[in-house]
Amino acid sequence: MAINSLTEMHNDFMVYAAEVNNNRAFPDSRDGLKPGMRAALYTMFRKGFNSSKPHVKSAKITGAVIGELWPHGDASVYESIVRMSQPWVNNIPEIEWHGANGSLLGGPEAASSRYTECRLSKASEDGFFANIKKNTVDMIPNFSEDDEWPTVFPAIFPRLFVNGSQGIGYTIAQEWEPGNLTEFVSKVKQYLKKKKITCDDIYPDYPTAGVIINKKDIKSIYETGKGSVILRGKAEIDGNIIKITSLPYQVYVEPFISTIKELVNANKLNGLTGIEDIYNKSDDSGMLIEIECSGDPTQVLNTLYKYTDLQCTFSANQMALVNGKPEMLTLIDYIKYYVEHNVNCIKREYQHDLDEAAAELEILNGLLVAIAHIDDVIKIIKKSKSSPDAKNNLMNTYNLTESQAQAIVDMRLGRLAQLESVKINNNISELDIKVKDLTLKLNSEPLLEKEFVKRLDEFTKNYSWVRKTEVIDVDIKEEKKAAKKVKKATEQYIITLNESPVLTSTSRELKKMALSEYRVPKGNEVAKEVKAIKVGAKDKFILISNKGRMYKLQANKLSLSTMKSSGADISSLLELQADERIINIFSGNEEEQYFFLITTRGNVKKMERDEVFGISKKAGTPIMKLKDEVVVDVYLVNDDAVIEAITSKPKEVNIKVADFKPRGRKASGVRGLKLKTYSILVTNLLN
């Protein structure tokens, strides 16, 4: 028979995808657990590894889960157990732990299962397993069909809302944000009273606290099942110190600090140049990261929000299994399924108690018949050939049920006393009351819901907490605009022209530093720095060479440096001619009126500053014609300036700028000094 391979692959993929989504990646809407988590918790429960007993080796539990209920990889099972124990992941951890199970400092990875121990938390015992032995949920066979386990727990613990969930299945993902138990209970009561709820006053509550900054967007998550939460760590500015006391959900201290250091060292972000040092002062009493700023701490903090995990966005996608299929759930949907499940569990519990009471009542009524006819009963039993024969004879003689007859046959002689008859009658009266009460409750939805609320209130009383996460509204767009304005207004740099550290180089180097980074050179450093100018991030500055050529560069083209680091070799930035060397740099912030150039042969040229700054061409525009000479120095000066020239004679001569008229860019220079066989070596600006 021919098989269509495409059809076969499609069908196989759909079966496999359903298996992954339903049996691994998605939680059940009723108890909020994935099958692997449920298998681990049930294994611990039925083996007695509870909160009143000593902790047990995690490897022992992992092995039991795999061998008895959930035949998957030990690493994935152990990882699931570890995650259920972490208080920074869960608002109410399902498992108590001994040993290393990760930390907020270093990360979520736990020690090997052979080194750690765990047991059920009291919250799991109360929230998942109360009355589970009373047939409150269905049981299914395990993989080898030699054991059974629950399809779902009778969960008064609203785990899916309280602890959240994350998982990626095939073609679909699910993410539930952790929430506050007390706030959830108020919505449950609202639903029971009105069969509807409002979502204006309920928000995620993360175990690691933080600040939700898009308060107005949260309502849509609970109304539609989808949306985004923007969460920031808690930070405050104290002088030039940024103090971070919490990080967003599932962000860890040491990796966070490492990220900042990498960004600073890589010089990728201008705003991070304002960081002087980072101190991790976190300990058992709480988290504290201090960032010492050399620049504007507000600007540094905004940059951290933008480029690091100090601000995170979580995409809620509230998918969960409903009747074995993934569905998108709104908050009211989830509450509906949660309430229905719990009420049904209570109903099954009551039915179990009613069945037990009815069975016991049946037996007691049969015993009363036996006591009333005790002599005849004894004769019938004595004349019977066997116990089954005696049972049948009693049933036929006194119209008893099989259970009643069996109880009489098994009855001890001590129960024949008259006092025993009084006890039996009292028990019957009590059971009659119990049966009537259970029957009334089973037939009354309000009474079932009342019992559910009572149990939910008890659980909440024991395990609720005060909200940890702040919720505010921050206008992100306006914040970004304000940050850009601040950045544009304050983003200033110092660019220095320095002697090249390579002695054989004819070039020099440029260094761009944040204002907070720059220090006025002292001692031997003075000789290394030729000129320092202040520019804005997008400002252009000009460079003039000994060949009388002018170049332009934009400040953003230079990478950031520090006082101790090397700068950029100018020859790598500009296409310089052979033996060409940059002798000075100028910014548009300098206010002097004229450029004044002096050559080795004593020729000078005075130019209007705007004529030089107005040149649009960048790549080496000539501003002075030269013969067999080079430019010694160039200054930006006013007419009152006096320049001292030192010649090779040696001789010192003063040149007054006011003695010369400005000339155009294409004009030659004029004789400034009459020199014969000697030349100008050095010049100095006197005033």
Report the catalytic residues. 115
Selection from 682, 617, 287, 296 nearest residue 468 by Cα = 287
Vertex 66: Cα angle to 65 and 71 (nearest 5): 130
Residue 362 · residue 406 · CB < 8 Å: no
Residue 309, CA distances (Å) to 254, 258, 312, 413 in order: 12, 11, 6, 77
Judge whether 512 and 560 are in contact, CB under 8 Å. Answer: yes
3-state secondary structure of 219: helix
Comparing C-alpha atoms, which of 166, 212, 161, 153 is closest to residue 184? 161
Angle, helices 181-194 vs 331-372, to 10°: value is: 80
Q: Are the C-beta atoms of 227 and 316 separated by less than 8 Å?
A: yes
Q: Which residues have C-beta within 8 Å of that of residue 171, sequence separation ≥ 6?
A: 17
523 conformational bin, left if phi > 0, alpha if psi -120 to 50, beta if neither: left
Beta strands in 116-172 (DSSP E): 117-120, 139-141, 148-150, 165-168
- Going by the DSSP 8-state scheme, the letter that residue 530 receives in this structure is E
CA distance 195 to 520: 72
Spatial separation of the C-alpha atoms in residues 94 and 102, rounded to whole Å = 16
- The one-letter amino acid code at 393 reads N
End-to-end CA distance of the chain: 103
- Which letter does DSSP use for residue 67 in this model? I
> Could you tell me the two tokens for 475?
């206008």
From the list 253, 319, 314, 32, the residue with the least C-alpha distance to 155 is 32
**Which element (helix H / strand E) includes 367?**
helix 331-372
Q: Report the alpha-carbon distance of residue 265 to residue 272 in Å, rounded.
A: 9
Strand order in the sheet with 680-685: 651-656, 642-647, 680-685
| Alpha helix (H) residue ranges in 443-475 | 445-463
| HEC-encoded secondary structure of 404-446 | HHHHHHHCCHHHHCHHHHHHHHHHHHHHHHHHHHHHHHHCCHH
Q: Are strands 275-280 and 289-293 parallel, antiparallel or unpaired?
A: antiparallel
Instruction: Write down the number of H helices and E strands in the chain.
Output: 19, 32
Q: What is the DSSP string of 581-626?
A: -EEEEEETT---SEEEEEETTSEEEEEEHHHHHT----S-EE-SB-
Measured CA to CA, the distance from residue 160 to residue 179 in angstroms comes to 9
Give the separation between CA 350 and CA 330, rounded to whole angstroms: 30
Classified as helix, coil or strand, 293 is strand
Name the DSSP letter for residue 579.
T
- Within 8 A by CB and 6+ apart from 586, the residues are 533, 541, 542, 544, 595, 636
